[in-house]
Chains A and B, each alone.
Chain A
Amino acid sequence: MLAEFKHTLRRLRGPVVGWALGVALYGLLMALMFPSIKQIENLEEFMSLYPEEMTAFFENLYAMATPMGYLDVYFFAYMHLVIGILAISGGAGLLAADEERGILDLVLAHPVSRTGLFWGRFLGLAVALALILAAGWLSWVLPAGSVGFELTPFEILLPFLPLFAVLLFFAALALLLSMLVPAARSAGMLTGAVLVGNFLLIGLSNINDDLEPLMKFTPLYYYQGGLAVEGLEGSWLGGLLLAALLLAAVAWLLFLHRDIRVGGERSWVLPRIGRRFRLRQRG
């Protein structure tokens, strides 16, 4: 497991450095722009010029002059979509991509258990995501004092925790789907669609109250974003992490009990289940 963990981190070294730099530079730029937003005196009046639906969709626009609102609007409101690209592609390709390229066959011919391989890689992906978020955190913490960002490093850390949990959730969902659908890219596309769809629905539920009860069944409902600065919802955070682990555990069970392909994409699992059922009936 340790060998696979280290190997996964080694493989993700390039993406981690690239994403960490990108997220950190963006965070730094936004942090340095905070004084100019803070100085706007009639921000509420300015915001009221926007259509009501728009200010409702992006919940915290009116609180933009406060550090919490600014963090939420300029970073946490959509960073789960941005870094989600890496989390989803990483999750979908964690095992399936290697299988499609025919690499997994030889790896699993070595003395490594499927369990060790699976969790070693999953842990590697989780740590890679955490490293990118750590760079993002630093990009807000380092200039905080000089730009009048009146939040402590710990307060700034709080919203990064739900962000990590939600990224891990979608990485695990992509991983699970990669065990079910024929190709890693299909799993990535499906998970991406779920993430974007959920993001839009959450925004729309701020406009249409009828949607809100439904949102409780979606993962992003439990994503606090920048609001976590005011106090972390432990049960939401724990729930997201638990759901991520649950999805990963189901993916692990599926991985334990299936054949490893030599290469290429496979066919849909559902027709195969039907075939197995028919064979059993004949048997």
Chain B
Amino acid sequence: MKCGEILGFLGPNGAGKTTTIRCLLDLIRPQAGTVRVLGIDPRKDPVAVRSRVGYLPGELNLEGNLTVEGVLRYFNDLRGRRVEWGYVRQLASRLDLNLSIPIKNLSKGNKQKVGLVQALMARPELLLLDEPTSGLDPLMQQEVYRLLREAQANGATVFFSSHVISEVEALADRVAIIREGVIVEEVEPGSLTDLSLRRIRVRFREPVDVKPLVELDGVSLVARDGREVTVQVEGEVDRLIKALAAFPVSDIQTQHLSLEEVFLAYYRVGEKEER
């Protein structure tokens, strides 16, 4: 990773995103290979690594009996009380988080906000965030993106995992794609559009011959039911839309495929080509 960049770590469930992050913090030990975080081997000096890192786990669990403030003060104690409490209040306010509520009474989204505040509050040099916007509503997701960009502007490096392509596109400077524990590709966020697959359902006013449509590059027929046709489009939809202009279309529905489905389609093709 380059210092000061935001790296998106993209992969389907079980690809090894969380495992990688946990190795970086010496929570689990790799069976082979080496790890360096900010130039330090986390196995040799985990405390030095952790004092410069803010971490948000993918499965966030907190002590239910403490209040939000109690949990954050405990984490501040573990950091040697280095945290400026005014900044904690500012973060909580921006994320619309009430500090006096017991953790056990918080919704999943609000717990995620606690996780984000504790990761950011010490202004760490490196942020390791596992699915940072999980459980947050779209408006709050935007606020998190702003907070992370501000952290970057202040010199922090951000490493975040996600399985949401649009999130990685919106936030990352660079994207690493992981599959079965191996980085299979490093790409620019813009090129993720090429990776994205859409399923488009078109209803025509009258029966039509769809051959010109499915012969378009990157378009394949998924299903046909009377006057309704479902096609899968790889990359941009521009060609299909222009081709459809010549047809009597009554309705169009677009559906983005999940990352798992994209990976399944994308890498299955890759594997066949390799063979």
Q: Write the residues of chain A forming the contact surface with B, with a CB cutoff of 8 angstroms.
A: 3-4, 6-7, 11, 101-103, 105-114, 259-260, 262-263
Contact = CB atoms under 8 A, between A and B. Distances in A.
Q: Which 6 A-B pairs have the closest CB atoms?
A: A102-B61, A111-B51, A109-B55, A110-B78, A3-B77, A259-B28
Given A7-B74, A7-B77, A105 B46 contact: no
B50 interface: yes
A101 B22 CA distance: 17
Q: In which size bucket is the chain B interface?
A: 20 to 34
Contact of A113 (B27, B46, B61): B46
Contacts of B177: none
Most buried by B among A11, A101, A102, A109: A109
Report whether over half of chain A's contact residues are helix, strand or loop; otherwise say mixed.
Answer: loop
B25 A111 contact: no
A6 B74 CA distance: 10
Contact of A102 (B29, B59, B74): B59
Contacts of A3: 74, 77-78
Contact of B59 (A108, A111, A113, A262): A262
Given A260-B22, A260-B27, A260-B28, 9 more contacts: A3-B78, A103-B62, A105-B57, A106-B57, A109-B27, A111-B47, A259-B28, A262-B22, A263-B59
B182 interface: no
A7 B118 CA distance: 17
Interface in B104-125: 115, 118
B234 to A, nearest CB: 35
A8 to B, nearest CB: 11
A262 B28 CA distance: 10
B59 A110 contact: no
Contact of A262 (B50, B57, B74): B57
Nearest to A7: B74
B207 interface: no
